[in-house]
Amino acid sequence: ETGVTQSPTHLIKTRGQQVTLRCSSQSGHNTVSWYQQALGQGPQFIFQYYREEENGRGNFPPRFSGLQFPNYSSELNVNALELDDSALYLCASSPDRQGYGYTFGSGTRLTVV
Amino acid sequence: QKEVEQNSGPLSVPEGAIASLNCTYSDRGSQSFFWYRQYSGKSPELIMFIYSNGDKEDGRFTAQLNKASQYVSLLIRDSQPSDSATYLCAVVPSGGYNKLIFGAGTRLAVHP
């Protein structure tokens, strides 16, 4: 059984650019959630996808968007990058929509310069 | 008031001692509570979850929940230097079955 994998591991982007982060969910998990963790803070919920549909969204602007594919993998897209978008982006998968049994991926460290 | 509050620490304990980590939450309707451990530069890993009032034990870890006081704690017995990490408390809010609300975490340092 494979865990949650995220790519890339690290990324440096320039302010104003766009970025796409990728996540492969754990085998058997149909729900993917994305979190942003700024330095020294706890993770903050961005949104969740369940069976290819958005299933809840946190307090993030529309320039944060996502997709889930039929194999339950997912993408997080961020447009018009700002310096404050610099953070660790975590993907978590779970076997259903409830927030139980979250398995986090190793994360993508995004630096915006 | 933050939804989930934790003392940022650092909490320093000697090896072999009991470390006590505390968390309070504001949403009285919250039903599910989680403790994650996060080593520096790594992603959070689930240690324990608890749903009912009282204690839940798993090896050296004990989670305690008091819904009336809106308080959840994590005890680590026989603390080891390898337990040195940031411990994140997370709550599923009422009606929010689809997300976790995290505290900012407590940094634990276990010294030999």
Tell me the per-residue pLDDT of A7-54, one tens digit each, with 9 for 90 and over: 999 999 999 999 999 999 888 888 999 999 999 999 999 999 998 999
Least CB–CB distance from A107: residue in B4, B32, B43: B43
- What pLDDT is attached to residue A90? 97
CB burial readout A67-105, b (16+ within 10 A) else e: ebeeebbbbbebeebeeebbbbbbbbbbeebebbbbbbb
- What pLDDT is attached to residue B33? 94
As a whole number, the mean pLDDT across chain A is: 92
Least CB–CB distance from A99: residue in B4, B32, B104: B32
Q: Is the minimum CB–CB distance between A60 and chain B shorter than 8 Å?
A: no
Say which amino acid occupies A69. F
Q: SS3 sequence, A27-58?
A: CCCCEEEEEEECCCCCCEEEEEEECCEEEEEC
Residues in chain B: 112
Q: Which tokens is B63 given? A: 């989670």
**Which residues of B fall within a CB distance of 8 Å from A33?**
98-100
The answer to whether residues B79 and B15 touch, using CB atoms and an 8 Å cutoff, is yes
In the predicted structure, residue A79 carries a pLDDT above the cut 70: yes
Q: Is the minimum CB–CB distance between A33 and chain B shorter than 8 Å?
A: yes
